[in-house]
Amino acid sequence: MSEDDESTPTAIVTRDSHVAHSTPIAEATWRNMPHKQDVAVLMLSRFADFFQQAAIQTYGYYQLKSFDPNISESDVTKQTGTLFASFTLAQIVSSFLWGLAADRPEVGRKLVLMVGLIGTAFGCIGMAFSQSFHQAVFWRFFCGAVNGTVGSARSMLGERVPKAWHSRAFLLFPAAFNMANVAGPLLSGILTEHFHTQPGEATGWLQLYPYAAPNLLCTFILLSEAALVHIYLRETLASKRPFHLRALIPTTLLRRGLIGHSRNGSAPSHAVQRLDEEHLLAGDEIELQPRKPAAPKQLPLSSLCTLNVFWVLVSIGIFDFHLGAFNNLWVLMLTAARDYVPDRNVQRRSPFKFTGGLSFTPTGVGFALSIIGYIGVALQFLLYPPASKRYGLLRCFRVSIILFPVAYYLAPFIAQLPSSTPSPEPASGALIWLGIAAVVFLQVAARTFAMPAVIILLNNASPHPSVLGTINGLGQACSATFRTIGPYASSHWFNTWRERGVIGMAWWIVASIAAVGCVASYWVKDGDNAALAAPKTPRDQANAR
């Protein structure tokens, strides 16, 4: 028996058995979702990745200040935006290449996912022991360059779970995001608060690297998840072959992505040959010998140039721009001094002219960020399922994203609410926290519907299974581009308009961009899910016949 034959599964059919879910199930539920183990491992992979991103948002600002205690407020704000953006900056190119690699038979989805987790873990170690701004930016850039987990995980979930369960399965990734937004900020805030409030009491290596603890925690979580992926997760790429290192060379990925795969590959199949009717009627078990089909052909990249793919990517770009800008502006507002005085003499003649923030400590920042996760988890499981089932994917997406500009417009006014503590102490009091909860509720409610929607819409826009990893990599590259621009642009607007006495203008510019996304969403269509349907290439259609 050849190697290909050994790797090709066989099916056992009895009177009561089915092949490949040939009999439709009345209703898709959490209980009867297939391949729960694989789904759980994929969800944990997204949790681990989101955790390290949420953690650094909590302590990144303070770690940069620890490098230079005399740095100005304006400079540390710029550095914070650069640090946050460096991760996604690397992904602009690398995520597309990892998407191409995930579609290569010699590489596959699972290997790309493991490389991303392990590589990001080593980047977190480098971040833990950084002693300058440039070192920190390098290691965050390294994390982004090796991290192709988003596209590979989305592709594996789309291929592993039948379409009937997609609305539930893809809900788990945003749920992982929300849970990481609870655990990441809280644990990071606890691990760094002592060094912020009592910096002289640290001893040994912790005195030299006061922010190493949360980074090493991220490393442990990422490596643990990589072990789970290696042990429990199964490859979903149908044409997977033994790994060759040359398949990861960027020029090879681009060349083969442009002209399509070579025709020498082979793909396992569950092709069913004609069965003896008497044995089936008798209830005997019959081993089905797989029929070895011709190799599936990968479509060239030009096949992705459709109008719907374009508008889905536009919506993803706008969504990720203002999401990245929000994450950055939210941290800057929480940490900004309450009594900031602009360089120029600004006269306050309008309720829109103010410059202060909330001056939170790491624990306060961590708790404020964790509220995003708490509300997100609740809405994800209580509001999203019934609403999406009743109103549909596109309608929920278009209506929910209207809340984004509303949340962004109201956000800067939190600093103007009455506080129970005098300046320059951290703002506190019932009204402050009610304002934070209200803005976060609006933003998270919108994101609860938007995040799973853009994942499903992108998967459904793929014209063929052979380019599913590529289109997810392209989507991640688009996402990374605008998540990079978002923090950069919002930091610039924050600094510029704070000096002019209108700190809220940065928020209101982002709100206007989010409003443009609301209009663009009406050109987005929900595709026919061709990526997970029957083969579409001429060779595949011939095989299907």
Each domain of the chain, given as residue ranges in start order, spans: 33-261+300-544
Phi-psi region of 359 (alpha: psi -120 to 50; beta: other; left: phi over 0): left
How far, in Å, CA of 409 to CA of 439, rounded?
9
* Radius of gyration over every alpha carbon of the chain, rounded to an integer in angstroms: 25
Q: Check if the beta carbon of residue 204 is closer than 8 Å to that of residue 71.
A: no
How far, in Å, CA of 108 to CA of 106, rounded?
6
Give alpha helix (H) positions in 283-361. 307-335
pLDDT of the chain along its 545 residues, tens only?
Answer: 443 443 333 333 333 333 334 445 557 788 888 999 999 999 999 999 999 999 998 889 889 988 998 888 888 888 988 998 899 889 888 888 888 888 888 888 899 999 999 999 999 999 999 999 999 999 999 999 999 898 899 889 988 898 888 878 888 888 898 899 889 998 998 888 777 666 666 666 777 888 899 999 999 999 999 999 999 999 888 766 555 555 555 555 555 555 554 444 444 434 333 334 444 344 444 444 444 444 455 555 555 677 888 899 999 999 999 999 999 999 999 988 887 656 555 555 667 777 788 989 888 888 888 888 888 888 888 888 788 888 888 899 999 999 999 999 999 999 989 999 888 888 999 999 999 999 999 999 999 889 888 888 887 877 766 667 677 778 878 888 898 899 889 999 998 998 888 889 999 999 999 999 999 999 988 865 544 444 444 444 444 44
261 Cβ contact list (under 8 Å, min separation 6)? 103, 104, 105, 239, 295, 296, 297, 298, 466
Q: Check if the beta carbon of residue 48 is closer than 8 Å to that of residue 221.
A: yes
Q: Check if the beta carbon of residue 146 is closer than 8 Å to that of residue 120.
A: yes
Give φ, ψ of 11 to 5 degrees.
-110, 145
Give alpha helix (H) positions in 383-467. 384-391, 393-400, 403-410, 430-461
Phi-psi region of 283 (alpha: psi -120 to 50; beta: other; left: phi over 0): left
Q: CATH second-level architecture of 33-261+300-544? A: Up-down Bundle (1.20)
How far, in Å, CA of 109 to CA of 105, rounded?
9
What pTM did the predictor assign? Answer: 0.70
Tokens 């650069």 label which residue?
A: 82
